[in-house]
Amino acid sequence: LDPLSQDGLDLLESAGSIEYEVRTGLSGQALRDTLAEFDGAICRSGVKITAEALEGNHRLRAIARAGVGTDNIDREAATRHGIVVMNTPGGNTISTAEHAITLMLAMSRNVHPAYQSLLEGRWDRKKYMGSQLAGKTLGIVGLGRIGLSVAKRARAFEMQVLGYDPFFPASRAKEQGIEICQSTAEMLPLVDYLTVHTPLNDETRNMIGLEQIEQIKKGARLINCARGGIYNEEALVAGLKSGQLAGVALDVYPNEPCTESPLFGMPGVLCTPHLGASTEEAQTNVAVEAAELLIDFFTTGAIR
């Protein structure tokens, strides 16, 4: 239902017992009709599989999301219809972790505005004094695959790493060079950088708002390569204007595609259009893994 790497399509082709079609850009009745024709579906983040799209569906048995987040799929509606929803959490781990580090570095060294100044014919070395990562404290909320990969790379940059994840065993943290905090609130006054790697749900939506930004260490920089909405946009704007925040780097937004935001153009802000998993390697990995999920499901009944 979304563009998929050829390697994933080749795997479906080689399965032998599976017929597939590529139908992208669907919504409304066209999507509903298509879903009613097939036993399984593969999507990325583009198509929105809502309760309405699944209404009256008596055939679809499984949906594989080529990526981590499944917030573009109404899982409760799928469950009511007996449809299994699976994702591919490992395929884009490294690419997303690298992008979080990329945003941290580029934001800290004013890479975009400095390059823009050259394009405009200016040589402003003094204007773009930066900050190094070494010796700084990074707070990571969410210590799943991506969070741990970010931690590993941050340690290589000689950063101190704090982590919060209620599901992560403290015994493993020491091995990873992570100091565990008991809450996000405990972490905020201590961090120079904060990055989040959690799903978007009722517990994480607006997790960082005005109250939290007042608590955070003055001059902190925030990064979000997870899901839009974890940081409250209005609070970020207020934090930047007050000087409480030195920078904000976002790859994700509450509503995507996003081409307008009060943050765009503000000093200290660096934004990209959801590029975390946009590498050839990640797209190949998630496509192959999604194809494997459906092949296994339809040939052996396995669910992962």
Active site residue 186: no
Active site residue 274: yes
The active-site residue, picked from 44, 197, 227, 289, is: 227
Burial 53-71 (b: 16+ CB within 10 A, else e): bbeebeebbbbbbbbbbbe
Is the pTM value of this prediction over 0.85?
Answer: yes
What is the model's pLDDT at position 16? 87
Segments in the chain below pLDDT 50: none
Q: Cα 123 vs. chain centroid, distance in angstroms?
A: 35
The active-site residue, picked from 81, 99, 221, 274, is: 274
> In this structure, what are the phi and psi dihedrals at residue 65, rounded to the nearest 5 degrees?
-95, 115
What is the model's pLDDT at position 294? 97
Q: Does residue 149 sit in helix, strand or coil?
A: helix
- Over residues 180-215, the pLDDT tens digits come to 999 999 999 999 999 999 989 999 999 999 999 999
Active site residue 289: no
Three-class HEC string of 57-96: CCCCCEEEECCCCCCCECHHHHHHCCCEEEECCCCCHHHH
What is the model's pLDDT at position 36? 97
What is the model's pLDDT at position 170? 86
- The span from the CA of 140 to the CA of 92, in Å, is 18
What is the model's pLDDT at position 89? 86
What is the model's pLDDT at position 68? 85
- Bond prior to 257 in cis (omega within 30° of 0): yes
What is the model's pLDDT at position 85? 98
Per-residue DSSP letters for 217-276?
A: PTTEEEEE-S-TTSB-HHHHHHHHHHTSEEEEEES--SSSS----TTTT-TTEEE-SS-T
- The span from the CA of 275 to the CA of 262, in Å, is 20
